[in-house]
Amino acid sequence: MFAECLNIIARSLKLEKNLYKDNANFGEAGIYFAGLIMILDGVAGAVAANTIVKTAIGLSGLTAILTWLVWSILIFVIGVKLFPDKESKVSFKKVLIGVGYAHSPGLLRFLAVTPNLLIPVIFITQFWIFAGLIISTKQILNLKSNFKAFGIVILSFLIIAFISISFVMNSLKATPASVLS
């Protein structure tokens, strides 16, 4: 079982498109593997961030699960409900698992052990995750166009970024000015 999970992570890191075509990877254990990847991705991000600023590791794991759900919902709604191809009939569970697998490069954030490595490691792994999301979206939704898969992922990202920025800006407005200075 552990070897199977490591195999999925390795194939995801290699950006293998066949990973997302093989239904054996989306069985009962698939949701657990994807969840484990997402939790470890959040923990790895917290460990990397701790080289500069103290971050709650447990909270990062929970945030990763929430992020996983939001990414999956947006990709599902945009790719399956709003702009489907003729063969884009997939279950939400399959999208959820695919999004989890695509976040495997985030595990490499454990390598950001010094502040000098933090920005390059985060930058590289984030683009690697985007590439994995585009490949998984194209394969899982049976899209014919790479451009369409790219558009679905970027639109999902922009919605997440807008919501995140709005949340941060609202939090700053609620903070008394005396605390900020």
Q: What number is the average pLDDT over the span 111-126? A: 88
Say if residue 178's pLDDT is above 70.
no
CB 128 within 8 A of CB 109: no
Contact 108, 57 (CB under 8 A): no
pLDDT tens digits, residue range 57-71?
Answer: 778 888 899 999 999
Looking at residue 35, its pLDDT comes to 94
Q: What percent of the chain has pLDDT over 90?
A: 62
What pLDDT was estimated at residue 41?
92
Write down the domain spans for the chain.
Answer: 2-176
Residue 50: pLDDT over 90 = no
Q: Return all residues near 155 (Cβ < 8 A) that are at least 6 apart.
A: 74, 78
CA atoms within 13 A on the CB side of 93: 10
By the 8 A CB rule, do 155 and 35 touch? no
Cα separation, 99 vs 176, in Å, equals 38
User: Cα angle vertex 159, ends 155, 160, to 5°?
Assistant: 115
Q: How far apart are the first and last CA of the chain?
A: 53
Cβ proximity of 137 and 98 under 8 Å: yes
Position of tokens 């990414």? Answer: 71
As a whole number of angstroms, the distance between CA 137 and CA 95 comes to 8
Rounded to 10 degrees, the C-alpha dihedral 66/158/10/29 comes to 40
Q: Measured between alpha carbons, how far is 175 from 36 in angstroms, rounded to an integer?
A: 35
Please determine, for residue 135, whether its predicted confidence score (pLDDT) is greater than 80.
Answer: yes
Confidence of residue 36 (pLDDT cuts 50, 70, 90): very high
pLDDT, position 96 = 96
CA distance 15 to 64: 21
**Among 50-64, 122-136, 141-155, which is the least confidently predicted range?**
50-64
Tokens 């593997």 belong to 33
